[in-house]
Amino acid sequence: TKAVTIPSLNALRAAGEKITMLTCYDASFAALMDRCGVEVLLIGDSLGMVCNGHSSTLPVTVDEIAYHTAAVARGSKSAMVLADMPFGSYATPESAFNNAVKLMQAGAHMVKIEGGAWLADTVRFLTDRAVPVCAHLGLTPQSVHQLGGYKVQGKTTESADLLKADALKLQAAGAAMVVLEAIPTQLGKEVTDLLAMPTIGIGAGPDCAGQVLVMHDLLGVFPGRKARFVKNFMDGQTSIDAAVSAYVQAVKDGSFPAIEHCF
């Protein structure tokens, strides 16, 4: 199979085929997800919670993301490898670039940063220096202490308009993709229609160009409270391969997310 690239993701979007993304933290799962046809493997800073037992993503370091990124890159063949930049690692364009270099050298093909218009200069700085960037808007978990918890975002007209303006600014600055987390379905659709770059939703409705889930949630092994947007794809399956394939199938045929997973 051919390598997943920014042009190939844009081609999927143009063809109306949904993009599949899952978080992945090691080589064995990377190989499994890759052979199940998952297009993008995200080394999410969620690893601080699901792998290391922290109660938020804030303690995660660049070296930890780099370690897991290298493992995922070794295990995957054609999937795009997307690495999260952790809390505090992109406060200035220069520090963002220096930290992104570590993740790219570990095997990432793109990095993801959380936040709106304040990151436009950083996105430009990175993309000018050959670091592709995925934005992340809506519920941004690194801001949990400012948001006052893991809450749905963009529910007011004001905040919805702000999110749309942020998305356009980040796209104009060179972002290649955007993750939309925990926003109303209608806003997920509006942002998707507004943008040329693909939107990847998690709790952002079925109209996004693609979907992402944390792998532990998909496999039903995360002991924490189950978020509304989570579906346990192990239900009715007898292997992890089958569960991951069922996720890919459900995203591709539009049956996931269903109404009960949306806001």
137 has which bridge partners?
180
Residue 117's identity, in one-letter code, is A
Q: Is the dihedral of CA 243, 140, 161, 96 positive or negative?
A: negative
Task: Please tell me whether residue 24 binds ligand KIV under the rule CB under 6 A.
Answer: no
In what helix (H) or strand (E) does residue 213 lie, and over which residues does it extend? strand 210-213
Active-site annotation holds for 17: no
253 annotated ligand binder: no
User: Segment near ligand KIV (CB under 6 A), from 38-46, 115-123, 158-166, 237-245?
Assistant: 38-46
Question: Which residue from 179, 58, 55 is spatially nearest to 116, judged by alpha carbons?
Answer: 179
DSSP code, position 256: S
Binds Na ion (CB under 5 A): choice among 64, 84, 190, 217: 84
Binds Na ion (CB under 5 A): choice among 24, 25, 43, 44: 44
112 annotated ligand binder: yes
Task: Please tell me whether residue 206 binds Na ion under the rule CB under 5 A.
Answer: no
Are 30 and 72 spatial neighbours (Cβ–Cβ below 8 Å)? yes
Contact string 134-173 vs ligand KIV (x = CB under 6 A): ----------------------------------------
Task: Please tell me whether residue 64 binds ligand KIV under the rule CB under 6 A.
Answer: no
Which of 45, 64 has the CB closer to Na ion? 45
**Crossing angle of helices 157-172/120-128, nearest 10°?**
20
45 annotated ligand binder: yes
Binds ligand KIV (CB under 6 A): choice among 20, 23, 153, 245: 23
The interface partner of residue 190, options being ligand KIV, Na ion, none and the CB cut-off 5 to 8 Å by kind, is: none
| Angstrom distances, CA of residue 107 to CA of 131, 167, 254 | 12, 27, 31
Instruction: Give the Cα separation of 181 and 141 in Å (integer).
Output: 9
Are 261 and 229 spatial neighbours (Cβ–Cβ below 8 Å)? yes
**Among the options 64, 181, 190, 260, which is catalytic?**
181
- Give the residue numbers marked as catalytic: 181
Judged by the rule CB under 6 A, the positions of this chain that interact with ligand KIV are 23, 42, 44-46, 84, 179, 202, 212, 214
